[in-house]
Structure formats: C-alpha cells, structure tokens
Amino acid sequence: MSLIRNSLKTLLITSHLTSYTQLNNTRHIKRWVAPTLRELRRRREKIGTETPQPRSQFIEWNYQSELYAFGKRLNEEFDLSSLRSALTNRSYIIKEENKQRELGIEEPQLNLTDNSKLVEQGAAIVSEYIDAFLKYSLPKVPQEGIKSYIAFLMSEETLAHVSKHLGLTELVFSSEYPPSNDTMAKSLLAVIGSLQQSSGSQKAFNFIRDFICTQLNQKDLTELWDIQNPVEYLKDICKDLKLAEPEPRLIGEAGKNTVLAAYQVAIYSNKKQIGQGFGEDIETAIHVASLDALRSLFGIQDNVKPFDFSIQVEELSSAKATKRLQK
C-alpha cells in the first residue's frame, strides 16, 4: 500500500509541475502580441492578392546606382550605358512607345537601345568558351556528349537560374513582371556581351567560367547526356578506340525465378573488365553495365576528379593549339 501511495504522490507532483511549467511558458507572451497579429491580418486581407510590383516603382529607387552596385558586387567594370542597354528588352521599348502614343505623341523618342545585338554577341562568346572548357576538362568525351553539356549550360532554365541569383530580376526592363525565363536568360547573355565590350574577352571568359560552367558541379553527366542505346553505342566506341568487341558476362545472380531477382553483369574487352551493372533481369543488367563501361571510357565516373574552375584562358588556348598540331 505504501508503494501505491508513493506512486500516486509522485504522479500528482509531476502533474502539478507540468501544469506550472506550461503556465510559465505561456506568460512570456505580451498582451500587445495578439492585437498586433489581428491588425496585421486585417491589413493583409484589406490589401488582397495584388500583382507584385517591380522594385523600380518605389520612390527611393535609383537605377543608375543599382547598375553601379551590380558591377561592384560582381567585382566587374561595366560601361553603364552598355549595361543599361543589355538589360533593356525590346518589349519594354514597345510598351513605352505605346504609352506615349496614347498620350498623343505621334513619334515617341525614348533614346533607348534594346539588347538584341548584345544577346547575339553574348551567346557567341558563351558557346565558344563553354566548348573550349568542356573539351579541355573532358578530353575523352566525344562531340555528341560535349553538345549535350553545352545544351544544358546554355538552356533557358540554366541561364535564367543564374540570372535570377545574380540579382537581375529587378534590373531588367521588360513589359512583364516578374520577367519570364526567356527574358532573364537573354538578359544574362546580353550582360556578358556588355562585359566583353567594357572589360575585354578575358573578363567575359572568367565570368562564364565562374557563373555558368560551375552549374556542372555535382551533376551526373550521364543524366545530362542521354545515350539512347548504350549497348550499340559501346560497340561503336570500342571499334573507334580499336578495342575488342565488348562481351557481356553474367558474374552473379540472386533470387532467380522470384520477384526479387537480381543479376550482375560485367562487360569485358581485350580480356579486361571495363564495366559492370545490376538489374532485375539480364537485359537490364547489360544496359546498366554498358553505361558504366561508357563512363569509364569517357572518364566521367562518379569518383573522378572534380572540374577545375580556376582554369585560365591561356591554358585553354594552349590545349586547343596542341590538339590542332596533333591532328
């Protein structure tokens, strides 16, 4: 009986302490918090869901200062008039001209230049540098793979991602807000074209290396390059490299004739294993093993040395010249 009484006393004391602790935890909330939250909610409901307004609509906005600060944040020297043109979309000029016509101005004069020429210039220099960078960093990858990686780095999604994270959303002049991915991607290319005009190709190349080529970091290169038929493609590659025709061999199996069946296949060439893979059936295992063999032959395995993002243009140029001499 004494044990039961002691247990009941302990439970009562514990419950009292718990309720006291909870009471103390709630008392730290000040009386003004609830009315303030109610007032903030009321104001939000009053405003409603309005369309977002660009930062340039604020009174304290100074576009010239923002352009200057943009260059300083990136440690780059831009000609501000060129940078302004790079961030001016053609749709914005058309929108402003229409506004002036509505006000009765027959021939609007905005003194603005759109970024179409700078976009072309930036796209050319980006494509040229990425091609050289990839051929230097991935010398064993054939041209089909290089093209796939260039397509990824120059895709609208990748360029828009970089552009937004550099803070161009509020600097772009466009008829839409927020700007579309297409507008953001073209604006980034135009900024690179403007940087080349302002500071030279060396600075533009370094900009591309630091902000665009680095998007390959920690990416699975075999996913970016979709090889449709790896078994046949491996045969062609082995033929080009003057290797014996690849031979798949079953080297392990488990759970045969069950729903949990697993097969391990290795690919051999010149009596050497060049790849292996697993699958729920032998055909899938051969497919995976062929992809693994291609990774090994092209030097794009998961455990290879990371990209060198500190490489200079001089190294790329010398490597390109050496390759031409070898041809």
pLDDT along the chain (327 residues), means of 10: 51 50 58 89 77 72 86 88 87 78 72 85 91 89 90 92 90 86 92 90 90 87 84 86 87 84 89 88 88 86 79 69 42
Residues in the chain: 327
In this structure, is the dihedral angle defined by the CA atoms of residues 206, 207, 213 and 215, taken in order, positive or negative?
positive
Give the whole-angstrom CA distance, residue 125 versus residue 292: 34
Neighbours of 234 (CB within 10 A): 27
**Per-domain boundaries in the chain:** 62-221, 228-298
CATH numeric code, 228-298: 3.30.160.20
* pLDDT at position 20: 46
- Record the pTM: 0.75
Give the model's pLDDT for residue 154.
92
- For the chain, report the end-to-end CA distance as a whole number of angstroms: 99
Q: What is the pLDDT of residue 7?
A: 52
Nearest to 177 by CA among 48, 47, 50, 53: 53
C-alpha span between 305 and 297 (Å, rounded): 15
| pLDDT of amino acid 30 | 81
DSSP H or E run through 177:
none
Distance (Å, whole) CA 237 – CA 290: 11
Alpha-carbon distance of 273 to 296, in angstroms, equals: 10
Q: Output the pLDDT for position 228.
A: 84
- In the CATH scheme, what is the homologous superfamily, with its name and number, of domain 62-221? Ribonuclease III domain (1.10.1520.10)
Q: Are strands 272-279 and 247-254 parallel, antiparallel or unpaired?
A: unpaired
Nearest residue to 80 (alpha-carbon basis) of 62, 61, 57 = 62
Query: What radius of gyration do the chain's Cα atoms show?
Result: 31
Phi, psi for residue 272 in degrees, rounded to 5: -125, 140
